[in-house]
Structure 1
């Protein structure tokens, strides 16, 4: 159960009801502070709809952070969203293998993006060698989008964990298909 109650549109002033345009638990908790919810959503919306980065690579980076954080909410939501943007079951299996230190059949750039996301999650940031390799393959706007995606979703998983946001029933099948490891 979340540490704050889930708000509904009817709980909000009319000028804030648009914060719940997507009926998901994360938004229902963030709506307790409309200004913060809007700020938080701004970068998220850019990364989802405005990024120069290939959407499949973006989703792989997000999934990698969710996997590393053992974040049921982030993982389940982005398995579904990833499917919408070209992530395949083979990609997810490869991400899991790469997370265990195994080599996968992913193309080199996808493996590099996953490594960058793991390094960003582990901290303090993407390692110099990985960053240099990314810079060989991506122009500066796309490189910046890899950095921002990994860093923002590191923050997202911390918010989700701190607020103990529950996974909605409609996303549970993704956790059943790809359960997170138990450490």
Structure 2
């Protein structure tokens, strides 16, 4: 059980019963601060539905955050989202390959997105050559959306860890199909 009670719409004042994604445990926990929950869910909906950033690149970045931080909740939820946006199973498996420092089938832009996500997640830096690669390939608004998505999901995985968010049972199957690396595996050890 998570550290906070998971709220339902019925627990909220009428003006907050329209918060998106109240079926997910993270939203139900953050709903203890309903104005914040609405903002957090709104940012996620913007990134998913209104951003011009390619959905595949967005989901690869979010999945890399989940994989790098070993956040089972983030990983499993976004495997589901990624598959619904057409990301292939081979693309998802390539995250482990790229993280291990090996070459995958991914095209150079996707490899750069994953590398940028790892450096921002692990080291809180984005080396200039990597930034330049992304800036050359993406319009500025999409570059900003990518960087905000990486930052947003890095923040969320830390909140999930602090609150000890439980993974909903229907998402466990994604951990079986696409396992996270054990804590001893990292690109730095390769």
Provide the TM-score with structure 2 as the length reference.
0.92
Distance 1:99 1:106 in 2: 12
Question: 1:107 and 1:4 mapped to 2: Cα distance?
Answer: 42
How do residues 24-43 of structure 1 correspond to structure 2 at under 5 angstroms? 24-43=24-43
Structure 1 stretches of 4+ with a deviation exceeding 3 A read none
Q: C-alpha displacement at 1:21, in angstroms?
A: 4.7
Question: Is 1:113 equivalent to 2:113 in the alignment?
Answer: yes
* C-alpha distance after superposition, 1:114-156 (max 9, x if no partner): 1111111013232211001111111111111111111111111
Deviating more after overlay: 13-22 vs 33-42: 13-22
Q: 1:76, 1:171 within 8 Å by CA — same for their partners in 2? A: yes
- SS of the equivalent of 2:125 reads coil
Deviation at 1:22, TM superposition (A): 3.7
SS of residue in 1 equivalent to 2:19: helix
Residue aligning to 1:182: 182
The yes-or-no answer on 1:95 pairing with 2:80 is no
Quote the Cα distance in structure 1 between the aligned partners of 2:10 and 2:138.
45
Residues 2-11 or 36-45, more deviating: 36-45
How far apart are 1:182 and its partner, in Å? 1.9
- The answer for unaligned runs of 5 or more in structure 1 is none
TM-score normalised by the chain length of structure 1 = 0.96
Structure 1 match to 2:188:
none
1:51 aligns with 2:51: yes
Contact 1:68 1:118 in 2 (8 A): yes
| Alignment partners' CA distance in 1, 2:16 and 2:142 | 33
SS in 2 for 1:81: helix
Tell me the equivalent position of 2:72. 72
Number of aligned positions between the proteins: 183
Q: CA RMSD in A?
A: 1.2
Q: Which runs of 5+ in 2 are unaligned?
A: 184-190
1:159 paired residue number: 159
1:56-111 per-position Cα deviation (integer Å, ceiling 9, x unaligned): 11000000000001001000000000001111110011111001111111011111
Shift of 1:8: 1.3
The answer to whether the 8 Å contact 2:20/2:38 transfers is no
